[in-house]
Structure 1
Amino acid sequence: MHPIAHAKTRPDHPAIIMAGSGEQMTYGELEANANRFAQLLRSRGFGPEDAFALLLENRIEYYTLIWGSQRAGTMLVPISTRLTAPEISYILKDSEAKLLITSPKFADVLEGIRAECPDLPVLMMDTEGEESFAEALAAQPSDPIDDQQAGLVMLYSSGTTGRPKGVRPAPPEDPDPQAVIPLMGLAVMGAQMPSDGSMVYLSPAPLYHAAPIAWSSIVHRLGGTVVMMERFDPETALAAIEKYKVTDSQWVPTHFVRMLKLPEEIRTKYDLSSHQRALHAAAPCPVPIKKQMIEWWGPIVNEYYAGSEGTGMTMVHAADWLEHPGTVGKAIYGTLHVCGPDGEELPTGQDGLIYFENEILPTYHNDPDKTAEAMHPKGWFTIGDIGHVDEDGYLYLTDRKSHMIISGGVNIYPQEVENLLVSHDKVMDAAVIGAPCPDLGEKVVAVVQPVDMADAGDDFEQELRDYLAPNLARIKMPKMFDFRPELPREANGKLYKRELRDEYAAKAQESA
């Protein structure tokens, strides 16, 4: 199953619908556009694994680029639209990109990129002239190139804990672009997605992230329709489910929190009866939030755990999760191992570093030290998460190793405190970090986004302390609360804790 096949059998079936504008692209149109883009890449000298980069908002042409690359065997490098010109330029140089495709929305950073990368060719959406993407594409034939082969996607980390790093995937075992890939089996057998082309899949997150680009591509392989939101908004998401009769969707816990904070009259306004499967991942979901979502949507809220590195995956369906609250499931791809600092496997219930054993292993581009750091002596791979397995084989995530706070010699994982905070009715978002402290080494700081900033103040801080106290050890209680109207969070739910830690470290340095 592949868009190439669907274009032959169902050319008029919608492959993509933009949720806001209603703009559509059929499988027949996607086929022609993807072929033109593959021709364009070849005309510019692109061969297998040559890289090109995308700095784009969610727009319908994104899939032309994805599927064109998947015929040309090239390396597609999606770039976060949140990054600065120096960060983007670093990725362009590190990936050795031979072309940047962008749009006028990023004119503010493009000047800096051109200065840093003066010899890099640029193609622009929504413009005319020699840099016009539309004109360059239209000049190419819609026939398939003669040497079609599967392409690759190299995703860069969001830089939440340091400089972005490229996750270079292992080359596909079968270069045929229509060959079956592992995620297809996981989607059908694990996530129970339909393979008959009936799926209507809502994608609310930016396509430059791993999950949206991977799962929506699987929807196209299965012949379904991707409904792509231009940007996430909680009520607009509910409206899209009703309007397009969405059957499947992909979320992160932050989306759930935003939707649950909507007024009751908004939450119950839309008909969600078509909705059959709601996947979520990217971060541990607070147990109370997950329970509320299952109560609202029914037992369709299923969870998985994986990483951009693609070495393993766990999954749990709602019914099993209710019997094992907080789990991210059992391994369905790769073999799971939980190890201590000495590399030895830990017994049931003990927290340790999570590894996956798999024959297919990625590398970190231009960073052999980082690759070596992620490898267990036995050849297993970790993405740096801490967790444990229960007696039934279900995995539970504790936090990222890099997020751990050491205060007074005690290891504190912020996720526990954050999960409690966002469960409070008046809290929209929360980040817990370690800030420099002369007495404790690090002190616990809670940076909180209230639902209403008018609540911010000493009384609300005390209310939150009282709320946390029954469920939180004294050493884990935040020493300081900081209220802000917004947190530095990626649209895929990942928090830029590095920015907050750097800010508090700078303040500590100034006051020293």
Structure 2
Amino acid sequence: MTEVEVSLARRIRELAAARPDEAIYRHIGLDGSAPTYTWGWLDRRSSQLAGALAVRGLARGDFLGLGLRNSPQLVLSVFAAWKLGAVPVPVRWDLPDWELGRIREVIQPRVYLGADDVGWVDTTASLGIPDLADTVSPHRHGICSSGSTGTPKVILAGTASTYNPHYGSPLMENWRPVPRPQHIMVPAPMYHVTAFSMLYVMIAGDRLTVLEKFDAARAVDVIERYRVSHFIATPTMLQRMADLSGIESRDLSSLDWINQGAAPMPPSLVHRWAKLIGAERILMSYGMSEGLGLTALTGDEWMAHQGSVGRPLRGTQVRVLDAAGEDLSPGEIGEIYLRSGALPSSGARYLGAVPPPRATADGFKTVGDLGYLDEDGYLHLVDRRVDMIISGGANVFPAEVESALIDHPKVADVVVIGLRDPEWGRRVHALIEPVDQADPPTLTDIRAFAKHRLAAYKVPKSVEIVDAIPRSEATKVNRGRLVEARGG
């Protein structure tokens, strides 16, 4: 460590010394409770927990597996890991036991804390506060990802656990000043990298209000009651919030800006949120857990480049290449490659039997996403190569079909997959969660609606009505598993 670096552990202690009584973290429980916690409490309790974890053998460089819901206990465990120089690895706790077991085999944590350990974490409040040496973890965190294939992998951050204001700076500041401190709502589970990264924003001085579990109505209530100034959400979360009855009359005036990520927003949803809060307050961004690079654009920019996920940001460079590794012209779809000098990802590595991102000789890397650049250099994300459906020899991108179908008045949620078909090779199949289970849309309804928005070969050839789309707590779906369950 150089003399200018400060460990995250030391940063936490310094904040606790300077602002011991500042309420920095609020937890919104499933029962509607909303306890708040101060820097002094977080520092003291995480030190007590660190001492208890050290007794269990956790030390510098070890992995601490965290199968915990969004909770104070999760935050304390992350802080405790940093204080011991260990690597916190939040784990998807909403997995079946067999799949969770596979992920734990990949992580091989020195200590694993799950739902049954919440009580144990609480008992450490009776312990003394140990004298902990200032130390730095070799990786600030690990993030679990199963990708589209379902193969377990853990992405270890390419930076050590030192404090860097870069990780706490609002993305919107690349366009305009952002009032600080921000009051940020965290609606997503913290096993997802975007939600987990809000802990770095908190360490930079912003306040967090964290939902134990996302619920659209509760999220809007939280914005109104606590005057939230910012939140990051997936398109599915934003869709559910916008679909709430009476949303147009709710008080969202405290929102200085919102950030949407994880997948491109359907155009109709962007326009709905633009009416709710103003296009200039919307930011859409594209990145990945590997930290290969970043693109973003504001809502008013998007209006001139509809469907885009932005231009390169913070030193990112973008290339779109064909199968031979040649650069494609604007408008031509190929594989997206990123390179960034500002986002330190060169030290990132995988745990698990997965290949690293493919790379060019000059250091551009890809995770398999497909897209194109327009004439103005804005990136348009089409889909993941692994999700693409080849039907009758033509390429169909599920995200495009989903974006068209979500506007059907009888469709609450939709996922599109390709199923084996003797005539087409793969047929476009839509799983639909209806607005009203007693009055679902028919295949004829869906096809007629889609034909006005899509080329004929992209229109679903079959429809399946389901009670609910099987999304994770982060609102993601595993298309591979859906295809496998339907015969491949």
TM-score of the two chains, using structure 2 as the length reference: 0.91
Contact 1:75 1:154 in 2 (8 A): yes
Q: 1:384 aligns with which of 357, 368, 378?
A: 368
- Once residues 165 and 84 of structure 1 are traced to their aligned partners in structure 2, the CA distance between those partners, rounded to angstroms, is 16
2:203 pairs with 1:217? no
- Paired residue secondary structure (1:68): helix
Cα offset, 1:321, TM superposition = 1.4
Residues 429 and 188 of structure 1, relative CA distance in 2, 3 Å threshold: closer
Contact 2:387 2:397 in 1 (8 A): yes
Name the counterpart of 1:324.
305
What amino acid does structure 1 have at the position aligned with 2:44?
A: A
2:58 pairs with 1:77? no
Q: Deviation string for 1:308-331 (max 9, x for gaps)?
A: 111111111122112211111111
2:396 pairs with 1:412? yes
Q: 2:329 aligns with which of 342, 347, 351?
A: 347
Q: Deviation string for 1:145-179 (max 9, x for gaps)?
A: 1132245211111454222211122243xx5x3x3
Cα offset, 1:53, TM superposition = 0.6
Q: 1:154 aligns with which of 130, 138, 142?
A: 142
Contact 1:204 1:237 in 2 (8 A): yes
- Paired residue secondary structure (2:486): helix
Contact 2:284 2:298 in 1 (8 A): yes
- Once residues 421 and 95 of structure 2 are traced to their aligned partners in structure 1, the CA distance between those partners, rounded to angstroms, is 30
Name the counterpart of 1:261.
243
Name the counterpart of 1:47.
59
Cα offset, 1:484, TM superposition = 0.8
Contact 1:194 1:222 in 2 (8 A): no
Cα offset, 1:351, TM superposition = 1.1
Residues 252 and 309 of structure 1, relative CA distance in 2, 3 Å threshold: same
Structure 1 outlier segments of 4+, above 6 Å? none
Contact 2:46 2:80 in 1 (8 A): yes
Structure 2: gaps (5+ residues)? 1-5
Q: Deviation string for 1:384-437 (max 9, x for gaps)?
A: 211111121111100011100011111111111000111222211111111011
Contact 2:148 2:386 in 1 (8 A): no
Q: Deviation string for 1:446-483 (max 9, x for gaps)?
A: 111111111225xx332221111122111111110111
Name the counterpart of 1:370.
355
Q: 2:14 aligns with which of 5, 17, 23?
A: 5
What amino acid does structure 2 have at the position aligned with 1:97?
A: P
Contact 2:337 2:366 in 1 (8 A): yes
Name the counterpart of 1:109.
none
Contact 1:40 1:137 in 2 (8 A): no
Q: Deviation string for 1:177-202 (max 9, x for gaps)?
A: 3x315433464733868474x21100
How do residues 175-190 of structure 1 correspond to structure 2 at under 5 angstroms? 177=162, 179-180=163-164, 182-185=166-169, 187=171, 189-190=173-174
Q: Deviation string for 1:315-361 (max 9, x for gaps)?
A: 11122112211111111132212111111221212111111113533
Residues 423 and 483 of structure 1, relative CA distance in 2, 3 Å threshold: same
- Once residues 76 and 183 of structure 1 are traced to their aligned partners in structure 2, the CA distance between those partners, rounded to angstroms, is 17
What amino acid does structure 2 have at the position aligned with 1:365?
A: L
Name the counterpart of 2:27.
18
Name the counterpart of 2:267.
287
How do residues 299-310 of structure 1 correspond to structure 2 at under 5 angstroms? 299=279, 300-310=281-291
Name the counterpart of 1:495.
477
Contact 2:167 2:201 in 1 (8 A): no
Residues 193 and 67 of structure 1, relative CA distance in 2, 3 Å threshold: farther
Contact 1:199 1:219 in 2 (8 A): no
Contact 1:488 1:499 in 2 (8 A): no
- Once residues 228 and 442 of structure 1 are traced to their aligned partners in structure 2, the CA distance between those partners, rounded to angstroms, is 42
What amino acid does structure 2 have at the position aligned with 1:325?
A: Q
Q: 1:453 aligns with which of 437, 450, 458?
A: 437
Residues 170 and 275 of structure 1, relative CA distance in 2, 3 Å threshold: same
Greater shift, 59-68 or 183-192, is seen at 183-192
Q: Deviation string for 1:64-87 (max 9, x for gaps)?
A: 112222232211111112211121
2:430 pairs with 1:421? no
- Paired residue secondary structure (1:243): helix
- Paired residue secondary structure (2:452): helix
- Once residues 413 and 271 of structure 1 are traced to their aligned partners in structure 2, the CA distance between those partners, rounded to angstroms, is 37
- Once residues 54 and 455 of structure 1 are traced to their aligned partners in structure 2, the CA distance between those partners, rounded to angstroms, is 42
Name the counterpart of 2:216.
234
Percent identity between the aligned chains? 28
Cα offset, 1:285, TM superposition = 0.8
- Once residues 187 and 31 of structure 1 are traced to their aligned partners in structure 2, the CA distance between those partners, rounded to angstroms, is 27
Cα offset, 1:279, TM superposition = 0.7
- Once residues 171 and 96 of structure 1 are traced to their aligned partners in structure 2, the CA distance between those partners, rounded to angstroms, is 21
Residues 219 and 181 of structure 1, relative CA distance in 2, 3 Å threshold: closer
Contact 1:75 1:153 in 2 (8 A): yes
Structure 1: gaps (5+ residues)? 105-123, 127-131, 507-512
Q: 1:443 aligns with which of 422, 427, 437?
A: 427
2:118 pairs with 1:125? yes
Contact 1:283 1:493 in 2 (8 A): no
- Once residues 278 and 170 of structure 2 are traced to their aligned partners in structure 1, the CA distance between those partners, rounded to angstroms, is 22
2:114 pairs with 1:102? yes
2:193 pairs with 1:205? no
User: Considering only aligned residues, what root-mean-square deviation do their CA atoms show, in Å?
Assistant: 2.1
Contact 1:435 1:501 in 2 (8 A): yes
Cα offset, 1:11, TM superposition = 1.7
Residues 316 and 221 of structure 1, relative CA distance in 2, 3 Å threshold: same
Contact 2:330 2:372 in 1 (8 A): yes
- Count residues with an aligned counterpart: 469
